[in-house]
Amino acid sequence: MTYLAKPKLHHPTLTRNKLGLTRRDYEGKVSTLCAGCGHDSISASIIQSCWDLDIQPHRLAKLSGIGCSSKTPDYFLGNSHGFNTVHGRMPSVLTGANLANRDLIYLGVSGDGDSASIGLGQFAHVMRRGVNMTYILENNGVYGLTKGQFSATADAGSKSKRGVANTEAAVDTVSLALLMGATFVARSFSGDKKQLVPLIKTALAHSGAAFLDVISPCVAFNNHQGSTKSYDYVREHNDAVNRLDFWPSREAITVDYSEGGVIEVPQHDGSVIKLRKTHPEYDPTDRIGAMNYIQAHAAKGEVVTGLLYLNPEAEDLHAHLGTVEVPFNKLGEKDLCPGAGMLERINAGLR
């Protein structure tokens, strides 16, 4: 059996969002991942975020590659569009879908093997193109699905379950996303829902390439002493540069932030990010500064988390290409075929 359907019955007193939906309406099938796998906690945070944001499930498309992480879209948003692509190829399928129908909210889910090994080229290009999406990389430092080989994000010196040290340099996907031009870059930890949920919500509202690297321990193959992707290691070395809250609109702000140290970052769509700095010197709008900070702290074995970079002026691929507002899949023959007269004029202009 590869999946289990969940019973459809809801308790009548469950809280409902503005659409009248309960959190259960944002769930998927019963997870078949190992008990305690970090990926299941990320799915729970995605469910919470979409429920909080009152997203209509049919307006979201979830795409993934291959791996335990890439299986997870089956375990959330059972009423959304889904496409489980080939290993490492999620970004190009997502790009094509986004170009065909710009009206959907795109959520890409991938693993460190899927994104940093076979899919590294695709990863780099989807970031630099600014495809409007939320890209969540569930990072456990191993190929969980194929029984725990080191992946390209495993830190040099990190030990395998059998005690063998990894000798190769790690691909830092956060630094790579920054380098390639992603306009929202964050890192979090599957065990920190309080940090992760607002980051997912902010990423979903961002119009441009939003990348979220989530350290997500693999309890079967990479949660032992000597691993830098275990629950214990990440808890001990987590260096959160900020904490945020996300408000879908200015009117909705009900929390009192008068204790100080909070910056408001208004977004184009009227939503507001409330950013509480835990490291006063960290400026998430300074891309080069962010790269330096992340590298300097990684050299000390620290895992820097939080909203690492945000470009409030971000534009997406459709803006770069100057495409029409109407999604391509809604254009009819009249819009797409200019007629013989127009074609003649175009050809004449080229002579």
Residues that bind Mg ion (CB under 5 A): 111-113, 140
Place of tokens 């379950």: 161
Is 211 an interacting residue with respect to ligand SF4 (CB under 6 A)? no
Residue number with CB closer to ligand SF4 (69 or 95)? 69
29 binds ligand SF4 (CB under 6 A): no
Q: Identify what 220 binds: ligand TPP, Mg ion, ligand SF4, none; CB under 5 to 8 Å per kind.
A: ligand SF4
Q: Is 351 exposed, middle or buried (0-12, 13-18, 19+ CB in 10 A)?
A: exposed
Q: Is 295 in the site for ligand TPP (CB under 6 A)?
A: no
**Stretch in the footprint of ligand SF4 (CB under 6 A) among 22-30, 212-220, 293-301, 333-341:** 212-220
Give which of 126, 157, 208, 174 is closest to 290, Cα–Cα: 174
91 binds, among ligand TPP, ligand SF4, Mg ion, none (CB under 5 to 8 A by kind): none
Q: Which of 69, 95, 188, 230 binds ligand TPP (CB under 6 A)?
A: 69
Q: How far is the CB of 35 from Mg ion (least distance, A)?
A: 17
The yes or no reply on residue 144 touching ligand TPP (CB under 6 A) is yes
Three-state DSSP class for residue 182: coil
Looking only at the bridges linking them, the beta strands covering 262-266 and 142-143 are: unpaired
- Return the amino acid letter for 129: R
Q: Using the rule CB under 6 A, which residue among 28, 67, 91, 130 binds ligand TPP?
A: 67
Question: What is the rounded distance in angstroms from the CA atom of residue 272 to the CA atom of residue 152?
Answer: 36
Give yes or no for residue 38 binding ligand TPP (CB under 6 A).
no
Of 100, 66, 111, the closest CA to residue 81 belongs to 100
Specify whether the CB–CB gap between 271 and 247 falls below 8 A. Answer: yes
CB of 137 to ligand SF4, least distance (A): 13
Taking CB within 5 to 8 Å according to partner kind, which of ligand SF4, Mg ion, ligand TPP, none is near residue 146? Answer: ligand TPP
Using CA atoms, how far apart are residues 86 and 95, in angstroms rounded to an integer?
14
Position among 88, 119, 144, 198 found at the interface with ligand SF4 (CB under 6 A): 144
Question: How far does the chain reach from its first CA to its final CA, in angstroms?
Answer: 64
Q: Does 137 bind ligand SF4 (CB under 6 A)?
A: no
Does residue 316 contact residue 106 with C-beta atoms inside 8 Å?
no
* CA gap 166, 158 in Å, rounded: 6
Applying CB under 6 A, among 94, 170, 218, 244 the residue interacting with ligand SF4 is 218
Spatial contact of 184 and 133, defined as CB atoms under 8 Å apart: no
Residues that bind ligand SF4 (CB under 6 A): 33-34, 37, 39, 68, 140, 144-145, 218-221
